[in-house]
Structure 1
Amino acid sequence: MTNIRKRTAGHTVLMLMAALTFLCSVSLSNAQQPSNGAAKPTTTPADEGLPVKDPLVQQKCGACHQADVKGNLSRISYVRTTPEGWEEAIKRMIRLNGLQVSPDEARHILRYLSDRHGLAPDEAKKTEYFVEHRMIDETPIPEIDGPCGSCHATAKPLSWRRTGDDWKLLKNMHIAFFPSAENTSFSGNQNRLGQTPGGQGGGGRGEQNARTGPDGKPIRPVDDAIAWLAKSEPLHTPEWANWETMIQQPKLEGVWFVSGKAPGKGSFHGKVTIKATETPGNFTTETSVTYLDGETYTAKGYSIVYTGYAWRGRSEAQSSAAGVGAPSKVREVMMLSRDGSKLEGRWFWGTYEEFGMDITMTRDVGAPALLDISAASLKAGTSGAKVTIYGQNLPTSITPAGIDLGSGITVTGAEAKSDSVTLTVSIAADAIPGKRAVTVNGLVLPSAIAVYDHIDFLKVTPETSLSRLGDEPHAKGYAQFEAEAYAFGPDGKAMTADDVPLGVVPATWKLEEFVASYGDDDVDFVGKLDSKTGFFTPASDGPNPKRRSMRNNYGDVWVVATYTPEGQSKPVTGRSYMVVSVPQYIQYDQPEVAGK
């Protein structure tokens, strides 16, 4: 009897799998065949597609994606996306549809599709934070927050461009591959909130009260989302039409100045030497960076530039810093400016890409350049303060007369080197608070330094964060916090557009309970926050016998910074919200876009 039950259960599972396979095949078939019924999306006219001209892509993809007389391949010719989006699609074809490609062939296909079916710089900029793996609060978009945002970052659909028909086919794919989506906000049925679909009891919304289309069928949230995406993110855009004709292999060889900031470490500056390889658009790099505290970072790596501007690189790094946050295997995501003179983005590392550096690179053309300044702000009434301006190719003959830090700041001394100028400055007691440009022999750092008379509040960054529990089987996801001081602007209010940022201050740190229920005790279990550095180390994962109901160590807390400014009797405080969650057991990422 037991064996019969097992066979029956196994047969049932096989039948379910077969049914799901049938649904998937129907969806894929719809993607590749002309539509005949009113219920199916109409076929996109062939002249609206982007023809596929690469022989290898035609060979490897054309077996399933049918070609028309103009060279358009079904589905492929009607979408555009980032290198990460194309890599995800290629992986899906390999895993689910049996695509047979070698690593070199996959890289070639990825390169071609990213170059000829990619995004224009202005399109990619809106969601660049997604591929840079930044932890941010996305701007709400009501039309897609429910149907798409309940599973994805909203940047996921916004990093694709499709025809109206292909957006509909994407919906079909989700229904076939992820049928449970029908019981979520994707379709307007949110069982996770205690609601049940109409017609099944339990007080669900029910489709009888839903809006209906001309065909009498209910209009669900996903239909509204698809209509919005088809209008907002179409295949053909002015941005792409303009950029497609301008795409060329960038000429990046040479020395570049690099500067930026790293949370918990502060500012840095240095050089990157870029060399071209035999493959057009591929480069090798050597990097040397020095932080303002004297720590160093060196690296050797390689990169690929897609679509004429999208830098994707990897480096093996060494740093004089120690600890779990020290860089080792670093990934690089940057955007090249239209004139080819600047690269900006983020270098990052860690299991969850939680460690990183904000990067700006500019070409060394032999001319003097200013990169950074050691102080973000100066207090009114201060005398004899030391400030260092960092740069490259600076004349050593710079004098105080050639330096201007704005009204109310007097430069009384200057010691010049080819890569820096150390100043002695005095700030008038009645200097007007606010940002100022730094000018050295005609070179300008805009809004580089601020004058203040009072620190009014702190802002803790990141304002919201996600850390992850971990131990030996699963790595921890750490978090680094900083407290930035601010002065009120003319409106005398905090958190408004005219606030004056004064730079990071050495705050004292602690965790406080984010009270979400009676007897909340998350602060005792989620992990430890270094009181001096603001570095958070999460606790181990797994059930904790010391916690009520043997719960895991997850929870949410406030991260609180306190700082007493010099000359002020009362401290200022700031806080941010942190969720400490379980490990991410499956890593959804596309790291191979950087090549071998």
Structure 2
Amino acid sequence: MRHALPIGLCSLALLLPTSIVLASAGSEAIDRHCSACHQTQSGPQSWSRISAQRKTPEGWDMTIARMQTMHGLELPLEARRDIVKFLADTRGLAPEESAPQRELIERRLNRIESFDHPSYQEMCARCHTGGRAQLQRRPLEEWESLVHFHVGQFQTIEYQAMARDRDWFDLALNEIAPWLAETQSLENDAWEAWQQAELTSPEGDWQLWGYWPGEGDFYADVTINAAEGEDAYSLSLDGAFTSGRPLSGEGQAIVYTGYEWRASLNLNGRDLKQVLDFSGAQPSGRIFDDHDEAFGMMVEMVPHEASEPAVLASLPASLKAGERSRLVLLGYGLGEGEINLGEGVTVRNLVERSDMRLVLDVEASTDLTPGWLPMQIGEISAERLLAGYRTVDRLEVSPALGVARIGNDKTPPVSGVFTAAGYLDGADEAIPLGQVPVRWSVSPWDEIAERDEDARFAGILDAATGIFSPAGAGPNPLRQYNANSVGNLRVTASVVGQEAMQDEAQLIVTVQRWNNPPLR
């Protein structure tokens, strides 16, 4: 199995409750491979430095990679897997602690960070994401040691941009480290409570849904089974896009810290990774291409068994007046009762019906009243899941600022993936329409980009999907000075049939990504 960590952590084991301390392959591997430098301390399974930190699975894997790269640690792959599993289980983060940085864990690119400390961004997040340190917990002395490590390992750190204009070392040691010790403390109520939490197995039948860039909304039945090996999981998916195109696949997974799901999937022949938070009743997260992380989709899951009938999701989120389309409703207790989607919406054909899913062929009348469409499925009511519209009042392209990267076989390109969501201007608040049909175009962002013909050389934007494919890496003989095929572009979405309704975003197409750690 190969899960979401690109270096290949492959141990298939769902952890035991962290309140149980047992001898394990991971602790034994630490004693064997790490204790020469990290001495055993008083108490069971306790080592200097190691026991004074808590991190995500990716964080612990990066630590081991640094030990191997910088200190010559020789470690078999199996031992590395065991150590990461053990440390993530016993010295991980509680769901409440990881929640603010889920975007980083899920490899969501093009996010804009902000922090409460006035200089943390300039001091730390200029070299890597600020979230990387936010996904660690240490006491003050360990945060101070991290500052000393940076100065010792990166001798020019105090002379780089945004550091040489201040007393970097003094600020880092006397302001940043104490702030981190206060906000990212080793011991806290969230971690103590999670260690005592009763963990449940993800085994069983689930329903999953999301939006696949370039393909549209999709749904799938997911079956999770225990696999061979301690706490191993396999999963199968069987579903479809709302267009009717089948979607199927399978995969393998491991859960760290009782809720951190990491899986490798193959969906319709494409290899993908999956990161989910299984701490709640409705797990959610992201599926993405590990070689092109911009390509991915947010997903939600619910178990097949539930106590309360409800409509949980509508795919798509809106119907356009005068059009016939396929509508998928997901939830519980949908197998019986009359189907009423509101005035102006007619169910032409019942394609599929079960307790958890309705697949309908519907038609919205030309005089459909814009706004929320009150749905009634038997005794189940849902008033703010499906909207009707005639025209789009506002369009919003996401991300507003995107970064794509040229690439080649050694350093794969990173795509630009854009979506366009429509909105109605409601009386009290905007009504989201979800993804609406648009046409995409690209143009130079400014005069320099126009002069350098960036739109010609930097790559190709698919007019139908909003997916930008960067050009290849290396000198381009057609450009001035044989420059790389980088660029500064304007990406514009125009609503189909309503071309004056537009929104735009900036896309920076830059050089290859040379450093690709799990947490940047």
Q: TM-score, normalised by structure 1?
A: 0.74
Name the SS for the 2:386 alignment partner. Answer: strand
Equivalent residue for 2:437?
A: 506
Could you say what secondary structure the match of 2:137 adopts? strand
**Structure 2 vs 1, CA of residues 410 and 482 (structure 1 numbering), >3 Å: closer, same or farther?**
closer
Q: What amino acid does structure 2 have at the position aligned with 1:66? A: Q
Tell me what 1:552 maps to: 484
CA drift of 1:111 comes to: 1.0
**Structure 2 counterpart of 1:65, from 38, 63, 85:** 38
Partner of 1:330: 272
Gaps of 5+ in 2: 1-19
**Cα distance in 1, alignment partners of residues 383 and 299 from structure 2:** 17
Alignment of 1:100-499 (within 5 A): 100-141=74-115, 142-184=118-160, 188-189=163-164, 205=165, 219-220=170-171, 223-246=174-197, 248=199, 250-319=200-269, 327=270, 329-338=271-280, 341-365=281-305, 370=311, 372-378=313-319, 382=321, 388-391=327-330, 397-400=336-339, 403=340, 405=342, 415=350, 417-418=353-354, 419-422=357-360, 424=362, 431=369, 433-435=370-372, 438-443=375-380, 447-452=384-389, 454-490=391-427, 498-499=429-430
Distance 1:350 1:516 in 2: 35
Conserved in 2, the CA contact under 8 Å of 1:486 and 1:499? yes
Q: TM-score, normalised by structure 2?
A: 0.85
Q: Which amino acid in the other structure matches residue 277 of structure 2?
A: M
Identity score, percent: 27
For residue 511 of structure 1, give the secondary structure of its aligned residue in structure 2.
Answer: strand
SS at match of 2:157: helix
Moved more, 124-133 or 271-280: 271-280
The one-letter code matched in structure 2 to 1:330 is L
State the alpha-carbon separation in 1 of the partners of residues 455 and 323 from structure 2: 44
Query: Deviations for 1:282-341, whole angstroms, at most 9, x for unmatched residues?
Result: 20111223111222332222111111111011123334xxxxxxx2x2111001133xx4
| Structure whose residues are more often strand by fraction | 2
Change (3 A) 1:476 1:99: closer
1:394, 1:420 within 8 Å by CA — same for their partners in 2? no
Report how far residue 515 of structure 1 moved: 1.6
* TM-fit CA distance, 1:396: 5.4
Partner of 2:7: none
Counterpart for residue 572 of structure 1: 501
Change (3 A) 1:446 1:147: farther
Measured on the aligned residues, the alpha-carbon RMSD in Å equals 3.1
Structure 1 pair 135/446, CA: closer, same or farther in 2 (3 Å)?
farther
Q: Which has the larger radius of gyration?
A: 1
Cα offset, 1:443, TM superposition = 4.1
Report the alpha carbon displacement of residue 471 of structure 1 after superposing the two structures with TM: 3.4
CA positional deviation for 1:438: 3.8
Letter in 1 for 2:188: T
Report if the CA contact (8 A) 1:342-1:361 is conserved.
yes
CA contact (8 A) 1:560 1:574 kept: yes
From 496, 520, 524, the equivalent of 2:456 is: 524
SS of the equivalent of 2:156 reads helix
Alignment-mate amino acid for residue 241 of structure 1:
E
- Residues 233, 253 of structure 2: 8 Å contact kept: yes
Cα displacement string for residues 119-172 of structure 1 (whole angstroms, at most 9, x for unaligned residues): 001111111111211113223223311111111111111111111111110111
RCO comparison, higher one (Cα < 8 Å, 6+):
2
Q: 3-state SS of the aligned residue for 2:276?
A: strand
User: Distance in 1 between the 2:441 and 2:334 partners?
Assistant: 46
Q: Assess, with a 3 A threshold, how the Cα gap between structure 1 residues 154 and 447 changes in structure 2: closer, same or farther.
A: farther
CA distance in structure 1 between the partners assigned to 2:363 and 2:465 by the alignment: 29
Whether contact under 8 Å (2:33, 2:75) holds in the other structure is yes
Amino acid aligned to 1:373: S
| Cα distance, 1:442 vs structure 2 | 3.7
Cα distance 1:281–1:127, how it changes in 2: closer, same or farther (>3 A)? farther
Letter of the 1:67 counterpart: T
Letter in 2 for 1:479: G
- CA, structure 1 residues 124+234, in 2 after alignment: closer, same or farther (shift >3 Å)? same
| Cα separation, 2, equivalents of 1:442 and 1:293 | 28
